[in-house]
Amino acid sequence: MSSLGQLSTRLDRRLQVVGELTKALLALRAELTGKLDALKLTTVDVEAARGTITEFLSGLTSVLNGAPPASEEQRVFLAKLAQSGEPLADWAEDFGKLVEQLQARTPVESAHLDKIMRVVGFLQGEAAEDVRRLRSR
């Protein structure tokens, strides 16, 4: 596959992940704020969102605890954290607790959702970089 094709494929994948995580965060935030009906979301949507976020964070937590990255998204996240100088252990601890909350079906705090949104922001930034690279070719 050409480098252009690889870049395009990576961009598609990254945008798919960003979209899935954004929808999941929207459902969890709607549940937290009592706006499920206003957004025409159901408890089934919230359960699916919990699963999406749990799966994503479980993978990130493993990587933060020393496992090799299994996806491009995990590599991007590690690189962004390395650039910021933030301790990996703090993120791993927060994400571990959050996964426990999601699995226990307890309400997730807004601050925790904000932390996940930071991860999504990192991925969105990389997607924007990929778009810039595509346009420059």
What is the pLDDT confidence band of residue 127, given thresholds at 50, 70 and 90? confident
pLDDT value, residue 107:
83
pLDDT digits (tens, 9 = 90+) for 37-63: 999 999 999 999 999 999 999 999 999
Considering only CA atoms, which of 4, 1, 2 is closest in space to residue 135?
4
Decide: 127 and 11 in contact? Cβ < 8 Å: yes
For residues 101-121, average pLDDT: 91
Distance between CA atoms of 90 and 96, rounded to whole angstroms?
10
- Average pLDDT of the chain is 90
Distances (CA, A) of 29 to 69, 77, 114, 135: 28, 22, 10, 34
What is the pLDDT confidence band of residue 137, given thresholds at 50, 70 and 90? low
**pLDDT at 1 exceeding the cut of 60:** no
| 8-state DSSP, 63 | H
pLDDT digits (tens, 9 = 90+) for 62-107: 999 999 999 989 999 999 888 988 899 999 999 999 999 999 998 8
For residues 114-133, average pLDDT: 89
Q: How many CB atoms lie within 10 A of CB 9?
A: 11
